[in-house]
Structure 1
Amino acid sequence: MNNSQPRGRAARATERSSSRRAELITVGRKLFADTSYDALSMDDIARQAGVAKGLIYYYFRSKRGYYLAIIEDAVAGLAELAGSTHELAPYDRVRHTVDGYLRYAQHHQAAYRAIVTGGVGFDAEVLAIRDAVRARMLTTIALGAWGREDPPPLARTALIGWLCSVEGVTLDWIGERRLARETVGALLVRGLGDTLRLIEEYEPDCPAPPRPPAR
C-alpha cells in the first residue's frame, strides 16, 4: 500500500488550513486597527472577512481567542527584531533594533498599543506577551553589552526602566508624530548608552561599551 498519497493530501490540507488562518489574522489586524474590540461582533468580523462565522470559531474558538492570536502574530515580528542583528557591531546592533522597533510601532499602531498597554482592559495574557518581548530585548542588550544573558538584578532593573521609557516615548510618538523617526531613535539609543554607563557605576562587572565614534 502506498502511504505517500494520504500523507501528501494531509500535508496540503495542513498548508491550506495554515494559509486560511493567516488570512483571517491579516483581516483581523486591519479590523482591530480601525474599530475597538468591544465594537466588533463576531458577525461583523465574519462579514468583513467574507467567511461563515463558524470558520472563525473553528480556528480561534472565540472573539477573545481571535484577538489574542492577532496580538501574538503581530508581536512575533517585534520580538524577532531583537534577535536578528548578531552580525553587527554592538552600537549598530542597538541602533538597528531600535529603528526596527519604531518602524514596527509606526506600521502596527493598534497592535503595539494593545501590547504595551495590556490589551482590552487589563489583559493578563496580553501582558504576558509584552513581558516576553521585553525579555527578548533584555537578552539582546545584555549579550551585546556584556556577552551574557543573565545580568545582575540592578542591571536588569535599570534596563527595564529604559525599556519602559522606550514604550512611553513610542506611544507618544505614534500619537503625535511631531518628530522624525530617526530623531526619536537617536534619543532612545543615547538614553540606553547613559543607562549602561549608570549601571557600570553600581556594577563594575558590567562595564559600559565604548562610546560610538562621532558621526
Structure 2
Amino acid sequence: MNKSQQRGQGGSPGARGTVRSQARRAELIATGRKLFADTSYDALSMDDIAREAGVAKGLIYYYFTNKRGYYLAIIEDAVAQLVERAGNTHDFPPVERVRRTIDGYLRYAQHHQAAYRAIVTGGVGFDAEVLAIRDTVRARLLGTIAQGAWGRGDIPPVARTALTGWLSSVEGVTLDWIEAQEIPRDTVAALLVRGLGDTLRLIEEYEPACPAPPSRPPA
C-alpha cells in the first residue's frame, strides 16, 4: 500500500494523533467537571484527579500544565457549552429566538450546576482569570440577545447598560432557582422573558434605533 492509499484510509499519522489528543483532552475535562462538581478545588490533588481519570499524573501536566490550568480549561469548556446551548437559535424568528436563548441558558444551568456557579460567581475565591471568562460569556450572550432582538451585534451604550442589568438579574434568579428547585423551568423562563421584554421597551424609549420586537408574532 502506498502513502496515498494510507492517507485515504486513515489520514496522516499527525492528523490521527491530533484527533486522539483532542479526544483524550476532552475526556480529561469531562472527568474534571464531575470531580469539581462534588469536591472543592482545594480538596482535590493532582494525584486524586489522575487516579479518577485512570491516567498518569504527567499526562494531565502535559495537557494543562498544572491544576489551575486544568480548572480553567474546565471552566472555558463549560462557557463554550453554555454559549452554544443558549445561542443555537439562528433559524427562528426574533421573539422565539430570544425565548429559546433563555431556555437554553436555564437548561445548561440546571444540568451543569457546579460549572454554572463557577462561571457566574468567579470560580475559586476572587479569581481574575475566571472573572475574565465570565465577562466573555456575558458579552457573547448580550450579543446573542441583541441579534435576536434587533438583528445587530453592536449595542449602543444605553442598551448595553440596560441589558447588563437584566443579565445580572438573570444570573441571580438562576442561582436561586438551581439551589431551591421550587418552581418549573418554564415558569422561570417566562419570568425572565417578561423581564427582558420590559427592558427592551425601556431601551426603545432612550434609544429609538433599538426598537423592541413585538410581544407576539403578527397574525
Structure 2 CA distance for aligned equivalents of residues 3 and 79 of structure 1: 41
Structure 2 CA distance for aligned equivalents of residues 130 and 200 of structure 1: 27
1:152 Cα offset (Å): 1.1
Structure 2 CA distance for aligned equivalents of residues 101 and 82 of structure 1: 5
Opposite residue 122 of structure 2, the aligned amino acid is G
1:179 to 176, 183, 199: 183
Structure 2 CA distance for aligned equivalents of residues 83 and 104 of structure 1: 12
Structure 1 CA distance for aligned equivalents of residues 141 and 205 of structure 2: 22
- 2:166·2:199 contact (CA, 8 Å) conserved in 1? yes
Q: Percent identity?
A: 78
2:61 to 54, 57, 60: 57
- 2:86·2:100 contact (CA, 8 Å) conserved in 1? no
Secondary structure in 1 matching 2:42: coil
1:76 — aligned with what? 80
Structure 1 CA distance for aligned equivalents of residues 83 and 150 of structure 2: 20
2:207 — aligned with what? 203
Gapped runs of 5+ residues in structure 1? Answer: none
- 2:109·2:178 contact (CA, 8 Å) conserved in 1? yes
Structure 1 CA distance for aligned equivalents of residues 28 and 151 of structure 2: 41
1:33 Cα offset (Å): 0.3
1:87 to 73, 91, 104: 91
Q: Give the stretch that moved more between structures: 128-137 or 112-121.
A: 128-137
Opposite residue 163 of structure 2, the aligned amino acid is L
Number of equivalenced pairs: 213
- The answer to whether structure 1 residue 66 and structure 2 residue 70 are counterparts is yes
Superposition map of 1:94-105 within 5 A: 94-105=98-109
- 1:82·1:136 contact (CA, 8 Å) conserved in 2? no
Structure 2 CA distance for aligned equivalents of residues 35 and 150 of structure 1: 40
Structure 1 CA distance for aligned equivalents of residues 169 and 109 of structure 2: 14
Gapped runs of 5+ residues in structure 2? Answer: none
1:109 — aligned with what? 113
1:3 Cα offset (Å): 5.8
1:144 Cα offset (Å): 2.0
Secondary structure in 2 matching 1:112: helix
**TM-score, normalised relative to structure 1:** 0.94
- The answer to whether structure 1 residue 129 and structure 2 residue 167 are counterparts is no
2:12 to 8, 11, 16: 8
- The answer to whether structure 1 residue 140 and structure 2 residue 138 are counterparts is no
1:145 Cα offset (Å): 1.8
